[in-house]
Amino acid sequence: MNTEILGIIGMFAITFILSVPLGRYIANVYAGNKTLLDPVFNPVEKSFFRICGIDSVREMNWKQQMAAILTINLVWFLLGMFILMNQSWMPLNPDHNPGQSAHLAFNTAISFLTNTNLQDYPGETGVSYLSQLYLMFLQFVSAATGMAAAAVFFKALKNKRSAELGNFYDYFVKSITRVILPIALILAILFLFNGMPMTFHGKATMTSLQGAVMHISRGPVAAFVPIKHLGTNGGGFFNANSAHPFENPDYFTNMIEMIAQMIIPFAMIFALGFYLKRKKLAIVIFSVMTVGFLCLVIPNILVEMKGNPAISAMGVNNSLGNMEGKEVRFGAAASGYWSIVTTVISTGSVNSMHDSFMPLSGMNMLLAMMVNCFYGGKGVGLLNYFVFLILAVFIGGLMVGRTPEFLGKKIETHEMKIAVIVALLHPLLILAGTALAAHIYVQNPGAYAGWLGNPGYHGFSEMLYQYTSSAANNGSGFAGLNANTPWWNISAGLVIIFSRFLPIAGQLAIAGSLAGKKYIPENAGTLKTDTSTFGLLTFAVIVIIAALAFFPALTMGPIAEYFTFH
């Protein structure tokens, strides 16, 4: 078997093996059970809550949970805007990078705040070290916010009948101290010993073999990169992201970064099973997500390994695959694998340029973000999946002639209305944003010629990708789009806000509604949700909704480009 394929199988297998015990550990953390790190972090957390005046044991309903999320995120957003716009005169700016414009700071702050990390600024030259450190802070708290929201949902599913869903601040802090921070520290040590810079000095001056003087950017990279992937954030320290040798030095670090961005989304699925004591349900959910993932990743790997037929037609040796925009140290196969991992998981980091992938590979990356529930980001990916699961429960209940139930709670009109709104919000934001941008561009192409690096179908794909990435809180992009303009910064920023907080509000509302309902014991007539048949039904619901909503747009973009290309 090809060694590149063996490497990919090894990465997935290692992630799966590690995620099961990690899922058990996360379940114990959220259930309040004793864990190994209690003696270390219990005093720290108690001191933190005492200083902040937070009662971490007070039970909160779903509205109070949502209010807490919005309040702390607003504070972090305003502080981020201030730092980014004023970084030119603030400390830790040895390279004298200028402050960002208001619209760029808005996009950057809201993007990192929401776990999106869409970067319309040029990496190492767009922010100071102080701003990088603050963005690193946002990568910790945005990941913890998603995990805490999932913990609230776990609690709601476990409750027999109670509107009390735990304490958001407790879940939030424990997500950082007990899960994210310890793993990030281990990753940082590995990265440091494998060549990643860790310094607050400015650019290094070097002389090339040809005698040219070069200024090489560096910084606290080894501290930044672990949470970039572990938190499924994806924001790069450098403009080239993980294609940069300082941010991803070799194949070993490439493997570590790949495992890091997948492990907690995997573990959260198993954490649900351990928390609810329903391991079969977790296995079914993981299986459905894995089938969806494989349907996207296998074609991408094969297409990129096959190479560009236009290059082959010119008589050029294409045996390495489609290597345009890719790093030789990773190869076509590992780059194709990364392209789907980063879009399915909603990380958004890149180790190659997505704009240079083959048309059908680009389509699969778009589909991964359009579906937005095959693994997904920290916590929120599982919450997105539950929206489709509830739709499947309702449809399945009608098919067998019974009142739809999930884990002993009836799924009624109220839950269905919210689930449908959340499910339709995602395509609405993507398609409405793309349609509006395309209309503006077509009406006056001369005035907006700088928007697109490519005309025609691929240019449409670049616009579609930007809004899809924003709505999926992903952050990757087709680099041919010139996104640092008032239109793209503001419009994409608004899509990011709505796509982050409205679904979470809807999902927590469903959680609150289910938690307050009377528990109905399962009987012989109950629709089983932990079977392969129900998993197939859920997968069908996901595919049908995604296909019906997005197929016309994909036809005008990557699919049309594919047929024109050939």
Tens of pLDDT, residue by residue over 23-32, are 999 999 999 9
**Per-residue pLDDT at 302:** 94
Higher pLDDT among residues 273 and 451, named by residue: 273
| Percentage above 90 pLDDT, the chain | 76
| DSSP per-residue codes, 212-273 | -EEEE---SHHHHHHHHHHTT----SSTTGGGSTTTS-SHHHHHHHHHHHHHHHHHHHHHHH
Mean pLDDT of 76-83: 97
Tokens 């089983």 -> residue: 528
Mean pLDDT of 455-483: 91
Amino acid in position 103: H
Mean pLDDT of 424-449: 90
Mean pLDDT of 216-228: 95
- Comparing 191-195, 331-335, 378-382, 521-525, the range with the smallest average pLDDT is 521-525
SS3 assignment, position 106: helix
Domain boundaries, the chain: 3-565
Mean pLDDT of 201-213: 88
Mean pLDDT of 414-421: 93
pLDDT over threshold 90, residue 518: no
Mean pLDDT of 471-487: 90
pLDDT over threshold 60, residue 496: yes
| DSSP per-residue codes, 380-445 | HHHHHHHHHHHHHHHHHHHHHTS--EETTEE--HHHHHHHHHHHHHHHHHHHHHHHHHHHHHHH-T
Close Cβ partners of 67 (under 8 Å, ≥ 6 residues apart):
none
Residue 318 · residue 312 · CB < 8 Å: yes
Mean pLDDT of 455-472: 93
Please report, for residues 121, 327, 442, 450, 482, the alpha-carbon distance to residue 447 in angstroms, rounded to integers and kept in the order given.
Answer: 22, 35, 10, 8, 14
Q: What angle do CA 160, 165, 170 make, to 5 degrees?
A: 140
User: Which of 311, 70, 69 is closest to 169 using CA atoms?
Assistant: 69
**Per-residue pLDDT at 166:** 92
pLDDT over threshold 90, residue 371: yes
| Percentage above 70 pLDDT, the chain | 99
Instruction: Supply 196's token pair.
Output: 């990643």
Q: Quote the mean pLDDT of the chain.
A: 92
pLDDT band at 1 (very low <50, low <70, confident <90, very high): low
Chain centroid offset of residue 427 CA:
17
424-433 confidence digits (pLDDT tens): 999 999 999 9
pLDDT over threshold 60, residue 484: yes
pLDDT over threshold 90, residue 65: yes
pLDDT band at 376 (very low <50, low <70, confident <90, very high): confident
Amino acid in position 181: L
pLDDT over threshold 60, residue 47: yes
Mean pLDDT of 109-126: 93
